Amino acid sequence: MRVIAGEGGVPTWLGAHAVPPEFADADAYLDFILAEVLPEAARLAEAADVFVEEGAFEPAQARRYLEACRDSGLALRLHADQFTERGGVPLAIELGARSVDHLEATGPEGVRALAASGVVAVLLPVSALFLDRPMPPARALADAGAAIALATDFNPGSSFCESLPIVCSLACTQLHLSPEEALAACTVNAAYVLGRSDRIGRAAAGYDADLVLLDAPDWRHLAYHLGGDLVSTVIRHGEVAWTR
């Protein structure tokens, strides 16, 4: 039985994901959210996110949004390179973002840049599968020395899946990561993205003891048993929160 560390949600304000139809354009929408929504969002959230993509927000617009969020005390994250390389990766690196999600369209130059930076590449294989998109270049990122995290991207539009074990299976079978790399990507590396690497992400003295216990003959069944019902017990802050 393997112990896997984790935690509940950390609030992120994805205020700039799409432009609502009632606004004339992205700039008008940004005028509104930065003046009217950001002050309240900064009191509730720990980080801000923006979708840099054709039809969403251009790099200059994303910069305006992210700089305002940073000035309000929020950590920075980006969705980028899902369909096209549009400058999201260089922007994330320049602004010192904690992470950049998706990267299905990231090419060799983006891989090298991420590997030389402190920005974590958050890979979302279920989203790529669901939308019939190419998988992100996980093996190239790992081989170059980039930090990788894994996530479900759970949402009703493009990744209606809340199963991290399925993500681990896809990471090994489709992204060509090893089981060890996949486990680290969804625990200790994910904890770093959330700003929690000092208390979650591993089983160690002084950590929060947020743990998931697997009922499996080998820890690698987390990735091996596709869609398997492996979770036996959930422990939060050292107390049993759920058991099967």
Q: Which residues contact 154 (CB under 8 A, 6 or more apart)?
A: 160, 161, 162
What is the rounded distance in angstroms from the CA atom of residue 102 to the CA atom of residue 79?
Answer: 6
**Domain-embedded: residue 74:** yes
What average pLDDT does range 117-122 have in this prediction? 98
pLDDT of residue 179: 97
* Structural domains in the chain (count): 1
Which residues in 124-163 are b (16+ Cβ under 10 Å) and which e? bbbbbebeebebbbbbbbbeeebbbbbbbbbeeebbebee
- Determine the structural domain holding residue 67 and report its residue range: 9-199
> How does the average pLDDT of the chain come out, rounded?
95
In a domain, 48, yes or no: yes
Please check the confidence at residue 227 and state whether its pLDDT lies above 50: yes
Percent of the chain at pLDDT > 70 equals: 97
Q: Is residue 207 a part of any domain in this protein?
A: no
Q: Which residues contact 165 (CB under 8 A, 6 or more apart)?
A: 222, 223, 225, 227, 228, 230
Instruction: Specify if 214 maps to a domain.
Output: no
For residue 110, the surrounding DSSP H or E stretch is helix 108-115
* Residue 238 placed within a domain: no
DSSP state string for 80-102: E-SSS--SHHHHHHHHT-SEEEE
pLDDT for 119: 98
Query: How large is the average pLDDT for residues 221-243?
Result: 94
User: Which pTM does this prediction carry?
Assistant: 0.94
The mean pLDDT of 110-133, rounded to a whole number, is: 98
Residues 145, 142: Cα–Cα separation, whole Å: 5
CATH classification of the domain holding 124: 3.20.20.140
Q: What is the CA radius of gyration of the chain?
A: 18
Mean pLDDT, range 125-137, rounded to an integer: 98
Looking at residue 56, its pLDDT comes to 97
Average pLDDT over residues 74-83: 98
Name the CA dihedral angle for 40, 42, 48, 53, rounded to a multiple of 10 degrees.
40
Instruction: Indicate whether 127 belongs to any domain.
Output: yes
Query: pLDDT band at 2, cuts 50/70/90?
Result: very low
Q: What is the pLDDT of residue 8?
A: 54
pLDDT tens track for 190-215: 999 999 999 999 999 999 999 999 99
State mean pLDDT over 121-132.
Answer: 98
Q: What average pLDDT does this structure show over 184-193?
A: 96
pLDDT in tens, 7-42: 457 899 999 999 999 999 999 999 999 999 999 999
* Three-state secondary-structure class, residue 47: strand
Scored b (16 or more CB within 10 A) or e, 49-71 reads bbbbbeebbbbebbbbbbebbee
| Confidence (pLDDT) at 9 | 77
Looking only at the bridges linking them, the beta strands covering 120-123 and 148-150 are: parallel
CA distance 99 to 27: 24
